[in-house]
Amino acid sequence: MKQYLLIILSVLLLASCTKMLEEKPKSIAAELFYNTPAEVEAGLNAIYVPLRQEGALGALYQCQMEIYTEYMYGRGSHAPLNDYIGLDNTNITRVGGMWTNFYLSIRNANIVIQKTPEGNQLSDAEKQRYLAEARFLRGLSYFYLVRNWAGVPIRTEFNMDSINLKRSTQAEVYAFIMEDLQYAEQNLPDVPRLGGTPSKLVAKTVLTDVLMNLNRYADAKNKALEVISSNKFSLVNVTVAADFDKLFGPDITSSTEEIFYLKYSRTPAGQGFGYLIYAHYPGSGYYPPGGYYTFYSDSEQNSFIKNWDKNDLRYTFNWYSQTFGLGATTLINRKFSDKTTTTSGGNDYPMYRYADILMFYAECVAQADGAPNADAMEKLNMVHRRAYGKNPLIADPAVDFKLADHNSKQAFIDLVVKERAYENCSEGKRWPDLKRLGIAGQVIQAVKGKTVLPKHLLWPIPTIEYNYNKAIDPVKDQNPGY
């Protein structure tokens, strides 16, 4: 099923260059399309294409997020990110490309949302499911936009032809996201249409994340518990570090832990996970086609890495030593590796895993109730046990955290957030956590000794937007500092 979706995406990608240049012919085609299930599903598949691009969630977004963390540093054209003073022109161009890709995904979703209700060979149930998937992906795209740019123009199926749209407030964008995701939650199927497409539980998971970003922790706790209580997911057992490839490896189609992954494959051409070439050192053996080693760490100079318990199998799985002129203690991250490929990485990108929802729930209990409880600690311990090669479901006094040692609200949240950093290393999830919790500056100062300027927390509205969108003033409507 994964291969089928990827083949469709490959065809759509090849066709997109000419279609994007011919706006009116595409509009005419849309009027004749979206009548049958196959046609609508082709339109749905097109929504994923921009998200999966190397310039978006296929590589560069994760690179940017990881270099911002306290445990990683950038090289080459990514080195300016190490200073936390904002973005230089090269990185402004990069994030502008991400903006474009998120809005292309939104545009493709809007076409499906606009045209599907008119489909003359679709049942009402099919229309609901297709609209739910399109609205889920639209809401997800806006979630990435609002966290990195704050308020943005809200483009919908009703204003698709309008170039000049004001910059909506952050609150308005979040309200729109909630509407889309709640519709998706109600109308998505229990079983995904294809591997790598959303189900009802996927929508609940993303809603949990959105609610946490809105500081609605009681609602987020309940939503996370719905996912956990479904008993549809479980942590993958690990006994040695290499077993984590059962989660992140290039040959894994799916696992019991997968909630929502962006799917990639070595074949057909152009469908690989581009992140690998940015991660690895050429000749290291972890990615034979080469590598840019865009980001790295240091086992002695970085206190986060130095203090990471070396008995934690996640440490061994994540890091390998590689000298390239910065000293003998330089480390490269290998979470995503493909040792046998000659073309591109076959790994998938884990946007949401069961480990994420367990730790979301654990934090939300303390945030909402003012203190952790035994259930929250148990959910955290499940992830922690697995990190040490233990059965996640069997208590183990040798590795389990004790509630008595972390029974205050802040102590427990600090513990969860630290564990999430170990668990999600190299997945692009740490920096959004630090921003949501308002501790990015504090953490970076403590580990890297750098002051994070406020403008570094948001990206600039791209030139390509305000050059054409005259409802946005390049001075008054720009994010502070740019």
Asked, for residue 402, whether it belongs to a domain, the answer is no
Indicate the residue type of 411.
A
Asked, for residue 442, whether it belongs to a domain, the answer is no
pLDDT at 22 over 50: no
If asked whether residues 147 and 282 sit together in one domain, one would say no
In this prediction, residue 28 carries a pLDDT of: 40
Extract the tokens encoding 92: 């402004």
If asked whether residues 30 and 144 sit together in one domain, one would say yes
If asked whether residues 40 and 173 sit together in one domain, one would say yes
The SS3 of residue 321 is strand
Domain boundary among 289, 306, 333: 333
Extract the tokens encoding 420: 């999430």
CA distances to 298, 299, 313, 363, 422 from 309, rounded to whole Å, are 15, 12, 9, 22, 10
Domain boundary among 293, 309, 333: 333
pLDDT at 298 over 90: yes
Closest by CA to 145, choosing from 482, 444, 480, 479, is 479
CA distances to 6, 27, 260, 354, 377 from 273, rounded to whole Å, are 12, 31, 16, 21, 35
Report the residue count for the chain. Answer: 482
Cα 37 to chain centroid, rounded:
29
Distance CA 170, CA 176 (A): 10
pLDDT at 45 over 50: yes
pLDDT at 444 over 50: yes
Counting DSSP H helices and E strands in the chain, the numbers are 19, 6
CB atoms within 10 A of CB 120: 7
Asked whether the beta carbons of 421 and 308 are under 8 A apart, the reply is no
Mean pLDDT of 393-408: 98
Whether omega for the bond prior to residue 350 falls within 30 degrees of 0, making it cis, is no
Question: Could you tell me which residue, 8 or 470, shows the higher pLDDT?
Answer: 470
**Beta-bridge partner residues of 90:** none
Band of residue 32 on the pLDDT scale cut at 50, 70, 90: confident
In this prediction, residue 18 carries a pLDDT of: 31
If asked whether residues 315 and 462 sit together in one domain, one would say no
Mean pLDDT of 238-267: 97
Indicate the residue type of 195.
G
Which ranges of 230-285 would DSSP assign to H, the alpha helix?
245-248, 275-279
Mean pLDDT of 294-309: 98
Indicate the residue type of 102.
F
In this prediction, residue 322 carries a pLDDT of: 97
Domain boundary among 283, 300, 333: 333
Closest by CA to 88, choosing from 456, 473, 479, 477, is 456
Extract the tokens encoding 436: 């949501």
Distance CA 9, CA 4 (A): 9
If asked whether residues 282 and 159 sit together in one domain, one would say no
Asked, for residue 352, whether it belongs to a domain, the answer is no
The SS3 of residue 320 is strand
CA-based angle 17:21:22, to the nearest 5?
A: 120
If asked whether residues 280 and 172 sit together in one domain, one would say no
If asked whether residues 280 and 181 sit together in one domain, one would say no
**Beta-bridge partner residues of 261:** 350
Domain span holding position 304: 275-333
Q: What is the pLDDT of residues 85-108, one digit of tens each?
A: 999 999 999 999 999 999 999 999
Q: If you average pLDDT over every residue of the chain, what do you get?
A: 94
Asked, for residue 343, whether it belongs to a domain, the answer is no
Band of residue 30 on the pLDDT scale cut at 50, 70, 90: low
pLDDT at 1 over 80: no
In this prediction, residue 269 carries a pLDDT of: 86
Domain count, the chain: 2
In this prediction, residue 174 carries a pLDDT of: 99
The CATH number assigned to the domain holding 473 equals 1.25.40.890
The SS3 of residue 308 is coil
Q: What is the pLDDT of residues 350-365, one digit of tens each?
A: 999 999 999 999 999 9
pLDDT at 23 over 80: no
Distance CA 101, CA 331 (A): 31
Handedness of CA 41, 46, 52, 57 (dihedral sign): negative
Asked whether the beta carbons of 357 and 316 are under 8 A apart, the reply is no
Extract the tokens encoding 91: 């990185």
Band of residue 311 on the pLDDT scale cut at 50, 70, 90: very high
If asked whether residues 18 and 116 sit together in one domain, one would say yes
Extract the tokens encoding 207: 């809603």
Extract the tokens encoding 356: 């994420």
Asked whether the beta carbons of 296 and 327 are under 8 A apart, the reply is no
Band of residue 261 on the pLDDT scale cut at 50, 70, 90: very high
Asked, for residue 32, whether it belongs to a domain, the answer is yes
If asked whether residues 168 and 48 sit together in one domain, one would say yes
Asked, for residue 121, whether it belongs to a domain, the answer is yes
If asked whether residues 171 and 284 sit together in one domain, one would say no
Extract the tokens encoding 419: 């564990």
Band of residue 206 on the pLDDT scale cut at 50, 70, 90: very high
The SS3 of residue 260 is strand
Handedness of CA 188, 192, 194, 197 (dihedral sign): positive
Phi, psi dihedrals of residue 84, rounded to the nearest 5°: 55, 40
pLDDT at 12 over 50: no
Asked, for residue 141, whether it belongs to a domain, the answer is yes
Asked, for residue 416, whether it belongs to a domain, the answer is no
CB atoms within 10 A of CB 348: 25
Q: What is the largest CA-CA distance in the chain?
A: 66
